Amino acid sequence: MTEPAYNIRHFAAFAATVRHGSVTRAARAVNLTQPALTQAIARLEAELGCALFERGASGMTPTEPARLLAPRAEAAIAHVGSPRVTGTQLRAFLALARAGSYAGAAEATGLSAASLHRAVADLAVALGQRLVDKRGRSILLTPQGERRARGFGLAMAELRAGLAEVAAWQGKAAGRIVVGAMPLSRARWLPETILRFHGLHPGVAIAVVEGSHAELAGPLRDGEIDLMLGALRDGALLEDLAQEPVFEDRPQLVMRSGHPLLQSEKPMGAQLAGFPWILPARDTPLRRYWEAMMRSAGAEPPDVGIECGSVLTVRQLLLGSDALTLLSPAQLAVELEAGVLATLPTPAPVLRRIGITTREGWRPTAPQAAFVALLREVAGAGFA
């Protein structure tokens, strides 16, 4: 997602004025002249199309939209971490960090590679840090660059949320929700939630980013997505993420129709070990549940010949072989109803927690909070 070139200094001037209640004190706090600060606020008000302050003899009193925006602006400035950073530099560096090359960043932003080079170089000088290392035509972020990229991404997430709240107060389009969807959530839970939510909030855009936990956790931490849905992980390993269990999933053995194993009502471990398996990678909860299931059934887990996390690919592999997998029936509902695939209960119980993962301390906008509430409601109604 390409970020707009927000004027960070305008937001800093605005936040300081809310905090101090006086143009004089705010100008001193952000090292601006009073005319420059007044002009910054006027420009921000023009961009938003609403007054942020009531001017009076007693000072600057924030209006309702200002009270909505101010906490987001303060959080964004804290994430940026330096008054020397400009919106142009921030946008250029985020584009470079996400694209991995100046050419890719130029394509994403429409800016020239030379402009991006200059903005990132100026940012490094302003911060006094080396942010990138060049590797041929690509770049790698330094440790300082990685920390800055995450902070900048979170700053942009806060500003987007604040501007969405102001827009909602004005009765305009109320923002955008970006959902990271792991495989199980895509079967029924997320689609049903989106359908219901869109009927209630047609002005809110929803974007779904598909991927595994490993692929989505980084964008969640960086503020590129708002929440992640799917199998929950060991909480001890996710100190900066908050997990909320919403429902429990009971995967079953899945195979093609007519599979030899279907002659057994409840196959045991030795039988299961004799067939090829298609399963996700070792670091996934489902793979660990499968290993525990095999041992509980009296067999050592066999080698997994095909590792795959794509339900579409797994489906085709099952249809053309005697391979087995472990999946939720909801993920293959169409194939099971058509009779081309079949399920059997597992010889030992397999239970996994499915839920919502967000950044620790995440403050959702009203539409985002409504979406999360609807996720809980849909799961409770049996659509998970």
Instruction: Identify whether residues 376 and 340 lie together within a single domain.
Output: no
Q: Judging by DSSP bridges, how do beta strands 138-141 and 132-135 pair with one another?
A: antiparallel
Instruction: Identify whether residues 321 and 185 lie together within a single domain.
Output: no
Q: Which CATH number fits the domain that encloses residue 83?
A: 1.10.10.10
Q: Judging by DSSP bridges, how do beta strands 252-256 and 325-327 pair with one another?
A: antiparallel
> Tens digits of per-residue pLDDT, 55-105?
887 789 999 999 999 999 999 999 999 989 999 999 999 999 999 999 999
pLDDT at 183 (0 to 100): 85
- Where does the pLDDT of residue 349 fall: very low under 50, low under 70, confident under 90, or very high at 90 and above? confident
pLDDT at 236 (0 to 100): 57
Give this prediction's pTM: 0.86
Q: Which CATH number fits the domain that encloses residue 328?
A: 3.40.190.290
Q: For residues 345 and 252, what is the distance between their CA atoms, to the nearest angstrom?
A: 5
Calculate mean pLDDT across residues 299-308.
Answer: 94
Percent of the chain with pLDDT over 70: 98
CB 282 within 8 A of CB 365: no
Q: What is the mean pLDDT of the chain?
A: 92
CB 12 within 8 A of CB 77: yes
Classify 106 as helix, strand or coil: helix
Residue where a domain stops, chosen among 120, 137, 172? 172
CA distances from 267 to 161, 262, 275 (A): 52, 9, 12
pLDDT above 90 (res 294) = yes
Phi, psi (5° rounding) for residue 50? -160, 160
Instruction: Identify whether residues 278 and 198 lie together within a single domain.
Output: no
Q: For residues 287 and 344, what is the distance between their CA atoms, to the nearest angstrom?
A: 18
- Indicate the residue type of 158: E
Q: For residues 84 and 69, what is the distance between their CA atoms, to the nearest angstrom?
A: 22
pLDDT above 90 (res 10) = yes
Classify 47 as helix, strand or coil: helix
Q: Which CATH number fits the domain that encloses residue 372?
A: 3.40.190.10
Q: For residues 217 and 210, what is the distance between their CA atoms, to the nearest angstrom?
A: 12
> Tens digits of per-residue pLDDT, 180-197?
999 889 888 999 999 999
pLDDT at 260 (0 to 100): 93
> Tens digits of per-residue pLDDT, 225-278?
999 999 898 765 678 899 999 999 999 999 999 999 998 777 788 899 999 999
- Indicate the residue type of 64: E
Instruction: Identify whether residues 122 and 229 lie together within a single domain.
Output: no
Instruction: Identify whether residues 123 and 16 lie together within a single domain.
Output: yes
Q: For residues 150 and 218, what is the distance between their CA atoms, to the nearest angstrom?
A: 9
Instruction: Identify whether residues 62 and 122 lie together within a single domain.
Output: yes
Calculate mean pLDDT across residues 208-237.
Answer: 90
For 73, other C-beta atoms within 10 Å of its C-beta total 27
Q: Across the strands, what pairs with 138?
A: 135
Helix (H) / strand (E) element for 327: namely strand 325-327
Instruction: Identify whether residues 36 and 155 lie together within a single domain.
Output: yes
Q: For residues 258 and 271, what is the distance between their CA atoms, to the nearest angstrom?
A: 16
Instruction: Identify whether residues 235 and 110 lie together within a single domain.
Output: no
Instruction: Identify whether residues 189 and 258 lie together within a single domain.
Output: no
Phi, psi (5° rounding) for residue 310? -90, 120
pLDDT above 80 (res 152) = yes
- Where does the pLDDT of residue 206 fall: very low under 50, low under 70, confident under 90, or very high at 90 and above? very high
Find the largest Cα–Cα distance for the chain. 87
Secondary structure string (H, E, C) spanning 181-195 = ECHHHHCCHHHHHHH
Q: For residues 149 and 161, what is the distance between their CA atoms, to the nearest angstrom?
A: 18
Instruction: Identify whether residues 214 and 315 lie together within a single domain.
Output: no
pLDDT above 70 (res 325) = yes
> Tens digits of per-residue pLDDT, 109-141?
898 999 999 999 999 999 999 999 988 778 899
Q: For residues 15 and 26, what is the distance between their CA atoms, to the nearest angstrom?
A: 8
Q: Which residues contact 265 (CB under 8 A, 6 or more apart)?
A: 344
Q: For residues 201 and 194, what is the distance between their CA atoms, to the nearest angstrom?
A: 10
Q: Which residues contact 328 (CB under 8 A, 6 or more apart)?
A: 184, 187, 249, 250, 251, 252
pLDDT above 60 (res 307) = yes
For 8, other C-beta atoms within 10 Å of its C-beta total 25
Percent of the chain with pLDDT over 90: 78
Calculate mean pLDDT across residues 133-155.
Answer: 92
Query: How many structural domains does the chain have?
Result: 3
Classify 59 as helix, strand or coil: strand
pLDDT above 80 (res 38) = yes
| The two three-digit tokens of residue 111, written as one number | 């800016």
Q: Which domain holds residue 328?
A: 251-350
Instruction: Identify whether residues 85 and 27 lie together within a single domain.
Output: yes
Instruction: Identify whether residues 210 and 293 lie together within a single domain.
Output: no
pLDDT at 118 (0 to 100): 95
- Where does the pLDDT of residue 2 fall: very low under 50, low under 70, confident under 90, or very high at 90 and above? low
Residue where a domain stops, chosen among 172, 194, 218? 172
pLDDT at 301 (0 to 100): 94
